[in-house]
Amino acid sequence: MSTQTLTLDSHKAGTPPGDLAIWFFIFAELLAFGIFFLSYAFARAHNVELFNESQQHLNRESGAINTVVLITSSYFVVRAVAAIREGLSRRCVHWLGAAIGLGGVFLVIKLFEFHAKFSAGISLSTNTFYMFYLSLTIFHFMHVILGMVILAAVMLKARRGGYSAEHHTGVETGASYWHMVDLLWIILFPLVYVIR
């Protein structure tokens, strides 16, 4: 193991960690969600009472718990990246497994929330607020699933010894995508559940 392999910035100086291609994908995703967030905000501006009234029926607790779950999951991914930078594959696998587990917790909580809404007869066509609430959160839900699939693929490769302190771009690439999923929820939660 060379000295250089254990330096903090294993990626090329000045560029973000992971494969550069994922960053173009991340910024494209951020652009799409950004437009979605602003569409929600301006639709609310024209239906303030409806949005405030409908928002009261959301389960703010599950939204907050899911924020904690995703933030913690993101932190576990940070630990996985740190582990592989030290060449500790097993530890990396464990942290990734824990992060994926929390991703599963997020999905289960969200499914309970969706079930409650659908059981109450709420759908995309109920009103403008629920159209945005359901489409935004379902769109994000799909991204959590994709992130978990990516992390699982990275974890399986790490378990087979496919990454090392010298070569771990794949771990950083998966990590970057997962952090984006977390970042999007950090904005979605106050926007949909809190701001009134």
Partner 1 sequence: MENIMHNIENQRSQFIRPCTRVWLALLVLTGITYSIGRMELGGTQIVMLVLIITFIKGEMVAGFFMGLRKTSLLWRAIMASWLLIVGGGIAIAYLVGLK
Q: In the complex, which residues of this chain contact partner 1 (CB under 8 A)?
A: 1, 3, 6-9, 11, 14-17, 23, 27, 30-31, 34, 37-38, 41-42, 44-46, 48, 52, 56, 60, 64, 67-68, 71-72, 74-75, 77-79, 82, 85-86, 172, 176, 179-180, 182-183, 186-187, 189-191, 193-196
Q: Considering beta carbons, is residue 3 or 119 the nearer one to partner 1?
A: 3
Smallest separation (angstroms) from partner 1 to the CB of 3: 4
Are the C-beta atoms of 173 and 19 separated by less than 8 Å?
yes
Report CA dihedral (140, 141, 146, 147) to the nearest 10 degrees: 80
Closest approach, Cβ 42 to partner 1, in A, equals 5
| Contact of 143 with 184, CB cutoff 8 Å | yes
- The interaxial angle of helices 20-45 and 48-55, nearest 10 deg, is 110
Which lies closer to partner 1 via its Cβ, residue 54 or residue 176?
176
Q: How far is the CB of 166 from partner 1 (least distance, A)?
A: 13
Residue 130 or residue 193: which is nearer to partner 1 going by CB? 193
HSE, side-chain direction, 13 A CA sphere, residue 178: 32
**What is the number of other CB atoms lying within 10 angstroms of the CB of residue 123?**
12
* Least Å from the CB of residue 185 to partner 1: 10
Q: Which is nearer to partner 1, 160 or 176 (CB)?
A: 176
Angle at 141 between CA 111 and CA 132, to 5 degrees: 95
At closest approach, how far in Å is the CB of 165 from partner 1?
9
- Answer whether 62's CB lies under 8 Å from 111's CB: no
CB-nearer residue toward partner 1: 70 or 155: 70
In the three-class reduction of DSSP (H, G, I as helix; E, B as strand; rest coil), residue 123 is classed as coil
